[in-house]
Structure 1
Amino acid sequence: MRQTTIENIMAGRRERRLRWIMVTGILSIVAITLSVAMLMLGNTIYPVKDVVGVLLGADIPGASFAVETIRLPRMLAGFFAGIAFGIAGNTFQTMLRNPLANPDILGITAGSSVAALICILVFQTSNTTISIASVCAGLVTVVIIYVLSRGGAFSIGRLILIGIGIQAMLSAVISYLLLIGAQQDLATALRWLNGSLNGSQLQAVLPLIITVIICAPIVILLGKHLHLLELGEQSAASLGLNTDRTRMLLILSSVAMIALATATTGPIAFVAFLSGPISKRLVGIGYSNVIPAGLVGVNLVLAADLLGQFAFEVRFPVGIITGLLGAPYLLYLLIRMNRKGSL
């Protein structure tokens, strides 16, 4: 009987591992396909061989400028912003054990947005300054929320409520900045606030790429500790986990990614909110869904950008398309949580 139980456990473990590999593989293939489509499609459609040739250094009239200068930076911005939003959103939702606990609702994205808008509308600074200010503002917002939520003992419910309050306050600041901003800067600010890949430049995308390359592996390596935090503060501590240090590493890595992604593309709506639940539904339980969440984020951003460019007569920023996808899910989630008594 004992041997049969062990065999059943091992069989279940192998099945879950196979499912994780299959889901991750399929998401990777979809992400690669969408990335290639981003490079091929535009006012002129270039074949795959021309795109590959340009990427390998060949000089192809027309294709070289379109792919290297316009489409490649746009694709890289969407790809790495999707990873950043997806992983960061999943981290906060898992760590705080609440699907509403994502950077958009907690005010982290709004904090970065306020700093970026001040740079755009008030000081007209460079992209580098905007990136630095966004990261610093995101970190300051997290520290304020975390300190106010402790109150002697860490409380997830208190943190979410304080985060929602901070988010509301920062949204008011954003409205004020738009009200006092110069007329010639408002178009740029509004386009940025909607979340857009338009006008992406390789120099502006490089800080995001470097940040994701550094921070994403940290979150992936801490994936098993993230699952321990999901069990609760006391359970994780009883298993020997230094909860404060682990949580701080996860928060710093996630905020750095989310802030740089926000500074680069603007606050693309609902990607951080949707990536975690979708990846968890696809992967199931038993294995970390950090990598699948990042891939879901990539697929959401790239697919939404392609839809915004080519599915309608008017071209829409990527954030509008993701907002249309995410808003119904948010309403569904709120209704379901209300029925369960989780709100």
Structure 2
Amino acid sequence: MNTPTAAAPAAATRPREEDRTAGARGALRETRRRRRTRALAVPAVLLAIAALLALLTLCFGSVRLSLDQVLGSLLGIRENGAVDFIVHDLAGPQVKAALCVGLALGAAGTIFQQLLRNPLASPDFVGISAGASVAAVAGIAVPAFAGASLPALAFVGGVVTAAAMYLLAWRDGITGYRFVLIGIGTAAFCTGVVGYLLTRTSLTEARAALHWLTGSIGQAGDAENDVLLVALIVLLPFVPVLQRMLRSIEMGDDTARGLGVRIEPTRLALIAVGVLLTSLATAVAGPIAFVALVAGPVADRLLGSARGGIVAAGAVGAILCLVADYVAQHLLPVEVPTGVVTGAVGAPYLLWLIATTNRRGMGG
């Protein structure tokens, strides 16, 4: 007599459990949909802002132009010799360099930060930019390198320094903590070498070297700018692959191995991409400080749960470089290198980042 009575509540609870399960699945699908939407929308908006800033920079440079004149010259709709000269030969290369350098540094910075799982692990602090600087200053100070291209020397210096760091950090694999420590030591060593080289130069050579070391967009030629642009275009189709590689590494080595990921080849490929972008950007503009450090965290704040976007970080880097270069050229009483402006903005951010990281118990 009691069996049907006991079974009735159990049967009544099954639909409720199924409803809760279906509701949880629906909420999960909705969360994933929103994350995918945000992962696509945020980079698109940031790239659009960067493109708009580039157009405004051309309009409000040393010579004021209307947006119609700039677009007409860029699209080849209207022919005006004076406007074409300003857009294509005078201001255009500077804006293109700012866009490309910012994209490269922003993407490289977030790759290193995610790969090494450390918000301070940007190319500025792990020695790659410092290695490029040593090679470039050697091109100014050492007679044996006289006549060599500074951007080419900077690129070679960054690549060689990164290879040396990788070999020094290798102990049955690469860990982020060891790589960062070796990078900091390498950066300190390179800074000492640069200081020594500067003492061996004349006043004119030292002034030229210091201008390059501060970081200044627009000091490279068309060939270096075009190489960086081509590298970005070539790497663009591989961004989804790089993004998946970073996601797999972020899960931890054991989990990634369980999913069939080859850890060390994946890590080496990501480091190679980051080094390539950093070296090419440094070859074009010198070591622009703090752009690689700031771009990734800012993009992550905008992306929310879809954090870690390479394109979004690159777009933030492009916006930072465009704004900093415009301020350095047009809004200060005296024209200064771009790195002065990024350093003035980035140094307080670095102090804040170190303080908040230590409060969370992640500072070591």
Change (3 A) 1:183 1:17: same
**Further displaced range: 308-317 or 261-270:** 308-317
SS at match of 2:117: coil
- The residue number in structure 1 matching 2:214 is 194
Q: Mapping of 1:18-33 within 5 angstroms?
A: 18-33=37-52
**Further displaced range: 66-75 or 76-85:** 66-75
Change (3 A) 1:174 1:219: farther
Query: Separation in 2 of the partners of 1:16 and 1:139?
Result: 36
- The residue number in structure 1 matching 2:59 is 40
**Is 2:31 aligned against 1:12?**
yes
Number of aligned positions between the proteins: 341
Deviation at 1:137, TM superposition (A): 2.1
The one-letter code sitting in structure 2 at the alignment partner of 1:46 is: L
Deviations 1:33-73 (A, max 9, x none): 11102222222101122222332445424322222212111
Query: Separation in 2 of the partners of 1:56 and 1:263?
Result: 29
Change (3 A) 1:189 1:336: same
**Is 2:248 aligned against 1:248?**
no
- The residue number in structure 1 matching 2:146 is 124
- The residue number in structure 1 matching 2:15 is none
Deviation at 1:31, TM superposition (A): 0.3
**Further displaced range: 282-291 or 51-60:** 51-60
- The residue number in structure 1 matching 2:241 is 221
Change (3 A) 1:274 1:287: closer
Query: Separation in 2 of the partners of 1:135 and 1:312?
Result: 31
SS at match of 2:244: helix
Pick the aligned partner of 1:291 from 297, 306, 311: 311
**Further displaced range: 328-337 or 177-186:** 177-186
Deviation at 1:170, TM superposition (A): 0.3
- Give the aligned CA root-mean-square deviation in angstroms: 1.8
Deviation at 1:315, TM superposition (A): 1.8
Query: Separation in 2 of the partners of 1:170 and 1:200?
Result: 22
Whether the 8 Å contact between 1:218 and 1:253 is mirrored in structure 2 is no
- The residue number in structure 1 matching 2:282 is 262
Q: TM-score, normalised by structure 1?
A: 0.93
Query: Separation in 2 of the partners of 1:188 and 1:218?
Result: 37
SS at match of 1:62: helix
SS at match of 2:91: helix
The one-letter code sitting in structure 2 at the alignment partner of 1:51 is: V
Q: Mapping of 1:307-322 within 5 angstroms?
A: 307-322=327-342
Query: Separation in 1 of the partners of 2:57 and 2:198?
Result: 32
Query: Separation in 2 of the partners of 1:204 and 1:140?
Result: 19
- The residue number in structure 2 matching 1:50 is 69
Structure 2 unaligned blocks of 5 or more: 1-19
The one-letter code sitting in structure 1 at the alignment partner of 2:22 is: Q
**Is 2:175 aligned against 1:173?**
no
Moved over 4 A (4+): none
Deviation at 1:81, TM superposition (A): 0.5
Change (3 A) 1:176 1:216: farther
Whether the 8 Å contact between 1:40 and 1:46 is mirrored in structure 2 is yes
Deviation at 1:198, TM superposition (A): 3.7
Query: Separation in 2 of the partners of 1:77 and 1:46?
Result: 20
- The residue number in structure 1 matching 2:113 is 93
**Further displaced range: 297-306 or 145-154:** 145-154
Change (3 A) 1:220 1:134: farther
The one-letter code sitting in structure 2 at the alignment partner of 1:136 is: V
Deviation at 1:180, TM superposition (A): 1.3
Query: Separation in 1 of the partners of 2:249 and 2:276?
Result: 20
Q: TM-score, normalised by structure 2?
A: 0.88
The one-letter code sitting in structure 1 at the alignment partner of 2:258 is: S
Query: Separation in 2 of the partners of 1:102 and 1:23?
Result: 22
